[in-house]
Structure 1
Amino acid sequence: MEHKEKNYITNLTVSPHPDKAYIISPVLEETIARELAHLPPLPEGQVALDTIYVLPNDDTVEVGFYLRNGKAEPVRFGRVPLMLQDDQGRPVARQEFDLGQVIEEVPPYSVRPCEVLFNRAELLLPDAPLNTCKLAADVTGGRLLPLEPANPGPRVELSFGQLIQLEDFVAGLPPIQPGQIDIHPYSAELKENGELAVTLIFRNGKEEQLSIEKLPVSVIDAKNRYVAKGVFDMYGFVLPAGAAGPYTFVFAGDMLLKPDLDLSSWKVMIK
């Protein structure tokens, strides 16, 4: 597989929310610049959400974060489910926010300081230490884009940038015909432990929800060979009408049919 060297954005312009531009003083800009210098490099073309602070109040938990836009075009968001995770990756809080209002439009190659308020009465782990928590996109089971609340099955945990990439991918797919269901390959990764993780995007064009209990999946590599095969329990995967969602299938080492997978291109067969 060919790997391209990534370009990183090293100089972002501070772009405050239009309603709060008046509070960004030169001193605060210097503080923001110092904090940005300690964040992981931002690859060109990607978007990142970086937690800055978590502040518990009587009724709320305020979370401050930076939204970094490494794209050459502005980014704007709608309603996005977010979660607060502790340092062990456990969800401490889940809530959906209208980021169109919280963030508005973020210009190209810029960073926007933002904050959201979680309802403290609805914390999932009330006794968890909040000062080490981080903000992340919340995609549970098939939840992506405007989906209804969560499946009970395995979590698909994504960074904010990964969520935006998924949304861009789904937006670029051909329109789905009413009444149809389709499945699109999204990513395939051969892990160090020999497992193959394959993520597919499901789209439900029906007027009723889609439920899947088990699914037979085969992977065909760039050499047109069947390289992995298995039947997966999807834990009652549910996808509402008119929605799209990801699901990751993990093929154990003994489910691989070839030792030399060529994943430079690949496809799946559901049978």
Structure 2
Amino acid sequence: MTVFRHILWGYELTYPDHWIHQEVQDADAFVATLDALEPYYSGPDAGQLLVRGEWNWQRQLIEPVWNHHIGMLAGMMGAKQVGSAPWKLGEAVGLEAEIVLPKKDNQRLWTGILMKDFRVLHFMVTHPKEARDQVEPVLTKIISSLRFPNRILGSKASPEGLPLPPGYKPVDPKSILTDVSDPENWRAYSGTSGIGALQAFYLREVPIHNWEMEEYAPFPGPSELGFARLQLRRGTLKIMLGMLPYDPLGAGTITPSSPANVVFKIT
């Protein structure tokens, strides 16, 4: 069995060695073959599990989060809900439902969400109806393996000892910030992870790296900052860290799942 660890959202799943993990936009897919990612693939190894994280800084109750999730899903799939049921895995709680698709569709659709502190994980399972006996036990076992370890190894740190998300590269601060008058006190890292996932990463990793968090302004949030901000201290060293969302298409549209760069000022 292979263990998948999401270093940003802070969870892990175990899946069969012959299965494949693939990133699909802002979600993680688990399939027996890449063909299973194709719409309406009906081979003997059809079926997929999609997992997507969401940052719930307000700690909304599960019901409004669920209603929004189901509404989005129904709109995309033309589906009808057949009621929902409570769902619990370890310390995570949520709801699940079997979804009725239009009669012309031969697919089975199951979905669920689980909430753990500020994190919400969205699960979606699809497969041909005739493949249920073969694929459902495997998918159920993968989902049931969900864990939220206290620490996931693999993150690197800046020279100042600040944790860095995977895939982020150092860049000139002026390439991200246009009003830097003291660039020697600034550091900048460019990457493509969503701003919600970055907030999950830093709120978990900051205390592990022995930083004290003095202030946290979430994004989206009650302030009009337009980005997420952390005020950190370790001994006499103080850092103001910002996670700055951007639109990779250049249209200026920013959402709670937009990618973000990381910048911080040392004082």
Q: TM-score scaled by structure 2?
A: 0.25
Q: Which has the higher helix share?
A: 2
Q: TM-score scaled by structure 1?
A: 0.25
